[in-house]
A and B are shown apart, each in its own frame.
Chain A
């Protein structure tokens, strides 16, 4: 049996500095308040032995489940790595296990080393294998029979009765089964199976619809074929090929009728080539038609007619334009005179202007002279206003006289002449404007004339004859158009006769098309009906079978897992039954209980384990048990399993964390008695913050004890431990 000797903890959870703790005595008691590091010592032992198995969802311990910020931290916040060295006493000597984890992600930050009794050292995976061989106990069983977690006790006490089965499974070390069943239940394989079934049903519907549509199409074509005069018996390949052969003959006859050479067409031997056969026949019909002399001539005459009609329209329009411009020019000349007359008017206006300008020139110097004289006299002294500024003679009232002369006569004359000059200028401007207008009208008229000439030239070319000025192009064109119409009528009559031949051929093509469609739809319908024989259909059947088998396998396997879970629960309870019963009655000392019996059955609702606790009368006391009694029951199960494993268990110690939750004083005392009994076969390590329990343990456990008092925890230095 393996027993703990010492542990060195550094950088692990609440421990910053290297801290050794001795376990060389049968009992180790860890006392202290909350968050002082007591539980971390027990966690360190667990972690050193089991590493990552005791962290995360698989551990079965809720506080260990979490990621990121919520992850249960191994490495102390103020340390780079966690380091735990555990010395264990084996049968042949000491074994040292050292586990380290650095504060970085991934396997590289983790290491394990084991030194065996014979001095051999192993590391890494080899060390893990040696450790597993040494311990021979899974983590699950370790949690059930060696390390009583406070969470488990707490859950058993606090959980609703309907959830106690979960706690019981954890107590009995069955969490792996539950977790696996959980993972299986969460998977959506059944949902996928349903989806595939739905897809298949949709496919079936589509097949039916496709059959229905094809059948409707086929019936429609059959109806049309009957309308064309075909009987039901004729709706086959033979009839189609027969029509193909006669169509070949018809096209040859048609070519001969037109006086042309037929294209050699290959015969139709397989109905599936009908499409291209019909295309060839139609192409040849079109070709023959296009090459037919009547058709060619008809086309040519129609083009000629169209051209003549267009030219006639152009001529009439252009003639009107030209006439309109001529009339406009005529009207203008009537009103304003022709070019020469306008030029003469302009010339006359120029002469008038010159005459007026001459008069102005004559008067102006005199006016200027008088004006200057007046200015000089005005600025002269009053005694000098009668002295002539030119000759110096004295003239009475000279200034007055000059002013009168200037104002009355000269000024008026000059103004009158200036007014005349303005009027003449205006007249001249008007005449010049008229001249410009005349030029424009002349040019427009000329332009329209040129255009008309061009149209007439086009008409000449069209008619292939010269037209003189005496010819009326519109009339000539009308006659030509009438002649063409007569010719076209004759051609059309000739063509009508040939049209019926080609129509007959095209009608045959329509019937062949119908027969082809019927044969094609029959084939498609057959293919749809045969779809179940296709490889793809067979494949989808196989796939559906495979998912169906997977679902069944999963169900069957789940049943086996549940059965194993139930069996293991029964075995463990059976083996520990009397110990559990004894411990429960001892701790609770409840006179109502003479026997506690635990049974396990399959839960009809979930398929998992359902635990039934009965007293001696077969009654179920769980709903009416106090919290202390429930705690006692949880402890009894743990201690019962621990005791029952006894000598056969490789680990010779048990770890208990805050086991006295909800117990009264007497229950605590009785628990201590039980621990004292157990210490005969196992080393006991107990952690508690309960001061009453601390005293009871000190006084009640008779074996040698190590007592460690934890206090004054700080982030920088970790807990302060005093060995008492």
Chain B
């Protein structure tokens, strides 16, 4: 596809090349909506990982962890 090659030729960074490859594959599969789904999926995964870590950090900060007899 012309658009695919034209853009690829302009990309210098590998990370952008990979991103472009994913976008083109998604576009060929399901158009603009598929691109949105693919990127949203990455976002969701990142968000999920982040929430897990934040929860762990939250537990470290939780109060009343010890219990001493009066």
Contacts and interface: CB of A to CB of B under 8 A. Distances in A.
Interface of A: 56-58, 138, 140-141, 174, 176-177, 179-180, 182-184, 186-189, 191-192, 195-196, 199-200, 203, 206-207, 210, 213-214, 275, 278-279, 282, 513, 516-517, 520, 524, 527-528, 531, 534, 536-537, 539-540, 543-544, 546-547, 549-550, 553-554, 556-557, 560-561, 563-564, 567-568
Contacts of B24: 180
A186 B36 contact: yes
Interface in B32-70: 32-36, 39-40, 42-44, 46-47, 49-51, 53-54, 56-58, 60-61, 63, 65-66, 68-70
Nearest to A192: B43
19 contacts: A57-B31, A58-B31, A179-B31, A180-B23, A182-B32, A184-B35, A186-B32, A196-B47, A516-B68, A520-B68, A531-B60, A531-B61, A534-B57, A539-B53, A543-B49, A544-B50, A547-B46, A553-B15, A560-B16
A536 B23 contact: no
Given A140-B3, A213-B63, A199 B50 contact: yes
A403 to B, nearest CB: 111
Contact of A556 (B16, B33, B43, B60): B16
Label chain A's interface by main secondary structure.
helix
B19 A180 contact: no
Given A183-B32, A186-B36, A176 B1 contact: yes
Leading 8 A-B pairs by shortest Cβ distance = A183-B35, A183-B32, A187-B39, A192-B43, A57-B31, A176-B3, A186-B36, A210-B61
Contact of B39 (A540, A554, A556): A554
A543 B53 contact: yes
Contacts of B66: 520
A599 B47 CA distance: 44
A246 to B, nearest CB: 20
B35 A187 contact: yes
Nearest to B18: A553
Contacts of A56: 31
A527 B2 contact: no
Contact of A275 (B34, B61, B69): B69
Interface string B8-31: 001100011001100110110001
B47 A536 contact: no
A56 B24 CA distance: 17
B46 A536 contact: no
Contacts of A176: 1, 3, 27
Contacts of A180: 3, 23-24, 27, 32, 35
Contacts of A187: 35-36, 39-40, 43
Given A183-B31, A536-B60, A557 B11 contact: yes
Contacts of B19: 553-554, 557
Nearest to A175: B3
B67 to A, nearest CB: 8
Contacts of A183: 23, 26-27, 31-36, 39
A520 B68 CA distance: 10
Nearest to A274: B68
A117 to B, nearest CB: 26
Contacts of A206: 58, 61
B57 to A, nearest CB: 5
A547 B61 contact: no
A550 B39 CA distance: 9
A214 B65 CA distance: 12
Given A206-B61, A528-B61, A544-B50, A184 B39 contact: yes
B40 A560 contact: no
Nearest to B6: A564
B7 A560 contact: yes
B69 A278 contact: yes
A192 B10 CA distance: 28
Nearest to B49: A543
Contacts of B47: 192, 195-196
Contacts of A524: 65
Nearest to B61: A210
B58 to A, nearest CB: 7
A268 B42 CA distance: 54
Contact of A210 (B36, B63, B70): B63
A517 B39 CA distance: 50
A550 B44 CA distance: 13
A534 B31 contact: no
Contacts of A553: 15-16, 19
Contact of B11 (A179, A214, A278, A560): A560
